[in-house]
Amino acid sequence: MTPKRCMPTFAMLCLITAAGGCAGQAARPAVQAVVQAQRFVLVDDSGARRAELESHDTVTSLVFYDERGEIRLLVGIDGRSERALILVNRADATPAVQLGVKPSGEPMLGLAGPEGAPRIILDLRADGPGLRLADDNGVERADLSVGRDGGVWFTLRDGEGNPKTRLPLEGVETLE
């Protein structure tokens, strides 16, 4: 074939190739700038639920699940009570760590025993910081706090959480 005869064939091939490329691009879905939903569920290769992002009523949460479907991590806020919480669970789904903001606006960190009941609570209350220790049932038994006036107090409680002894740590004999 002479170069003049090849030209129309070459032009036709270019046109077909370009048209095929454009058709491939047209089939590609458009990227959306915003996706709106009340719930998203993330699944693994086997179809098992591994995470959820959900918003209903005034509660918004992000939850992560382990391979058995147990909640291992929860991050949530409740618009009604204005409480925010991060909850980390053990493999058996019992609570281990809580980090949150109470409805009053006070931050807190809680460490739970094997049964899931809070055993150590560190918080910043309106009257000052505090460290609270609880028994196996989650009943507060001892409290160390610093008041707004700078006074340090140690409070002992009975099995129902009622204060029984409160000691100011100012003027108490120190051990050296």
The CA distance from 58 to 80, in Å, is: 6
Q: What is the pLDDT of residue 102?
A: 85
pLDDT tops 90 at residue 53: yes
Whether 131 contacts 120, CB under 8 Å: yes
**What global pTM score does this model have?**
0.71
Q: Which residues fall within 8 angstroms of residue 23, CB to CB, at 6 or more apart?
A: none
Helix, strand or coil, per DSSP, at residue 52: strand
The CA distance from 171 to 59, in Å, is: 48
Look over the chain and give the mean of its residue pLDDT values, rounded to a whole number. 85
**Distance spanning both ends of the chain, measured CA to CA:** 107
Q: What is the pLDDT of residue 119?
A: 96
Q: What is the DSSP letter of 173?
A: P
Residue pLDDT, tens place only, 155-167: 999 999 999 999 8
Q: Which residue has the tokens 């009941």?
A: 117
Burial letters for 121-150: b for 16+ Cβ neighbours within 10 Å, e otherwise?
bebeeeebebebebeeebebbebebeeeee
DSSP letter for each residue of 96-138: EEEEEE-TTS-EEEEEE-TTS-EEEEEEEETTEEEEEEE-TTS
From 48-52, 67-71, 76-80, the region with the lowest mean pLDDT: 76-80
Residue pLDDT, tens place only, 88-109: 999 999 999 999 998 888 999 9
Q: Which residue has the tokens 């002894």?
A: 165
